[in-house]
A = this chain, B = another copy of it.
Amino acid sequence: MALLKIGYLGPQGTFSEEAALLYQGKVECCLCEYPTIGSVIKAVAAGEIDQGLVPLENRLEGGVGATLDCLSTSEGILIRNEVYHPIRQCLMAEDETRLGQITVVLSHPHALGQCAKFIDKHLSKAKLLPVESTAAAAKSLAGKPGYAAIAPRRAAELFNLKMLKEGIEDNKENATRFVVLSSVEQKPTGNDKTSLVLTILDRPGSLYRVLGCFARRGINLTRIESRPSREIIGDWLFFIDCEGHSDEFSETGLWQEINSEITFIKMLGSYPKGETDSVDN
């Protein structure tokens, strides 16, 4: 049997690759790098790869727009797993360097923001240079004494850099939730979550009545996130996660009842609950 092919958002050396490597530790597979979230999802839809791993939301930043947009419009793509990966930022340089000797710090703007307190305390004299990814920051250090990058641990291994300090993020509880996508539905396991996206009718109280359809059945919502529709200006998409499997909801008549309050609904999949704090690297 051919090895399972799993696509992820590149480049190598980012938190997305770290999460893909973590998943590879549990599921035997080979990893394929893709340049954008959209290209991972398209490759799954086209059957080019078996599964795709993409970031869905970050605990501090909220939903990842590109993933939410693609999921709400892609046909035949379902979430089959979720993976929580802690965001641990590391300071690295080409050679062993004292913090006081660092003149320039490169990273993705989000990563610079996530380490603001550490930078303030230890790197206040360094110039901050935002670049397109943490991996790009790490990769560009070659031949630049006094330069350092903030990036995941994996980037230091990959580009042969010296680790100056691990875990420099301000908030130790930050994590990104990745989802694994495929075209195959998951059977109920008894400990599932369901994700869906819907657009409500433009009538006073519609969202209230939609939530009532869940509440009256004792279905617990674990997350609701709104996002403007890119297709119809003024419309909002609501991304809802709830406890349970969609097969179980069908039996309660949920979908029929909800239909009178919405203009659009799309199932994003039912899948086993991921462990929030299982990962500690």
Contacts and interface: CB of A to CB of B under 8 A. Distances in A.
Interface residues of A, number: 32
A225 B61 CA distance: 14
Interface in A190-229: 204-205, 207-208, 211-212, 214-215, 218, 220-221, 223-228
A221 B233 contact: no
Contacts of A61: 65, 228
A234 interface: yes
Given A205-B215, A207-B221, A211-B211, A230 B65 contact: no
A252 to B, nearest CB: 15
Interface in A215-263: 215, 218, 220-221, 223-228, 230, 233-234, 236
A275 to B, nearest CB: 15
- Count of identical protomers in the assembly: 2
A216 B223 CA distance: 24
Contact of A60 (B130, B205, B223, B230): B230
A221 B204 contact: yes
Nearest to A224: B226
Contacts of A236: 223-224
A207 B218 contact: no
A127 interface: no
A171 B234 CA distance: 13
A165 interface: no
A204 B218 contact: yes
A93 to B, nearest CB: 25
A173 B232 CA distance: 10
Nearest to A58: B228
A62 B237 CA distance: 11
30 contacts: A58-B228, A59-B228, A59-B233, A59-B234, A60-B228, A60-B233, A61-B65, A61-B228, A62-B65, A62-B227, A62-B228, A171-B233, A173-B233, A174-B233, A204-B215, A204-B218, A204-B220, A204-B221, A205-B211, A205-B215, A207-B211, A207-B224, A208-B208, A208-B211, A208-B212, A208-B215, A212-B212, A223-B236, A224-B226, A225-B226
